[in-house]
């Protein structure tokens, strides 16, 4: 009996410690990634300000989940533009652009799982010597649940970060390949004249 009681006390002490420790952790998580894209800010801005074009570079696409279906409402781009999705694997969700400052900033609100999971995201563009720096920041709230707070504090960056990195690489490749196509067409026109 003493052994069982001792084990029960140890388990209770662990749960109480985890519960108390979680009170000292932040209620928000932040995941940030950035990339340099060899293009002008104005061109990159077009592809992040228009949610229809996200299908070309986002990590969350039909390439990863064949059951994913997109629909749109509101304007095609800018404030109020909304992308809705439905998928067997990823569930239901939406992204709505809430702020759009040309060639500089886009902010959006993302809701998943019928609004049970809400996060805010933003893209910030800066011109750099080698192109344009694009920074992607996602900020989310965590419930009071101690396990959720501990997970988000220690693992959310490594959980979401690779998806952001892949999407940014896809966007870089997409924008730069379109730029090279446009440049080659321009040079052909110049050469033919």
Structural domain spans, the chain: 27-192
Interval 184-191 mean pLDDT: 45
Q: Does residue 190 surpass a pLDDT of 60?
A: no
Give the pLDDT of residue 148.
67
Residue 48, φ and ψ in degrees, nearest 5: -100, -20
Among 4-13, 22-31, 61-70, 107-116, which stretch is predicted with the lowest mean pLDDT? 22-31
Q: 178-184 long-range CB contacts below 8 Å, 24 or more apart?
A: 179/38, 179/39, 179/43
Beginning with the edge strand found earlier in the chain, give each strand of the sheet holding 69-73 in spatial order.
28-37, 131-141, 117-128, 105-112, 91-101, 82-87, 69-73
d(CA 65, CA 67): 5
pLDDT in tens, 121-145: 999 999 988 899 999 999 988 766 7
Give the pLDDT of residue 172.
96
Q: Does residue 157 surpass a pLDDT of 80?
A: yes
Q: What's the farthest any 2 CA atoms get from each other in the chain?
A: 95
Secondary-structure percent of the chain, ordered helix, strand, coil, rounded to 5: 45, 35, 25
Highest mean pLDDT among 52-66, 76-90, 96-110, 151-165: 96-110
pLDDT in tens, 91-110: 899 999 999 999 999 999 99
Q: Which two tokens stand for residue 157?
A: 């960056």
What's the pTM value of the predicted model, to 2 decimals?
0.80
* DSSP type of residue 85: E
Interval 49-72 mean pLDDT: 88
Q: Which helix (H) or strand (E) holds 34?
A: strand 28-37
Q: 173-181 long-range CB contacts below 8 Å, 24 or more apart?
A: 173/57, 174/47, 174/56, 174/57, 175/37, 175/39, 175/43, 175/44, 175/47, 176/37, 176/38, 176/39, 179/38, 179/39, 179/43
d(CA 48, CA 39): 14
Give the pLDDT of residue 189.
42
pLDDT, mean over the chain: 83
Architecture of domain 27-192: 2-Layer Sandwich (3.30)
């Amino acid at each position: 009996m003493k052994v069982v009681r001792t084990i029960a006390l140890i388990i209770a002490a662990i749960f109480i410690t985890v519960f108390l420790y979680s009170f000292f952790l932040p209620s928000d998580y932040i995941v940030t990634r950035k990339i340099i894209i060899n293009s002008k800010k104005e061109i990159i801005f077009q592809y992040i300000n228009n949610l229809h074009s996200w299908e070309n570079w986002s990590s969350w696409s039909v390439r990863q989940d064949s059951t994913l279906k997109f629909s749109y409402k509101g304007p095609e781009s800018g404030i109020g533009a909304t992308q809705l999705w439905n998928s067997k694997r990823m569930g239901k969700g939406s992204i709505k652009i809430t702020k759009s400052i040309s060639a500089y900033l886009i902010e959006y609100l993302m809701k998943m799982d019928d609004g049970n999971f809400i996060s805010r995201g933003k893209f910030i563009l800066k011109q750099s010597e080698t192109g344009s720096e694009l920074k992607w920041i996602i900020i989310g709230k965590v419930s009071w649940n101690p396990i959720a707070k501990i997970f988000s504090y220690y693992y959310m960056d490594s959980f979401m970060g690779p998806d952001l990195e892949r999407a940014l690489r896809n966007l870089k490749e997409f924008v730069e390949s379109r730029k090279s196509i446009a440049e080659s067409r321009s040079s052909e026109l110049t050469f033919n004249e």
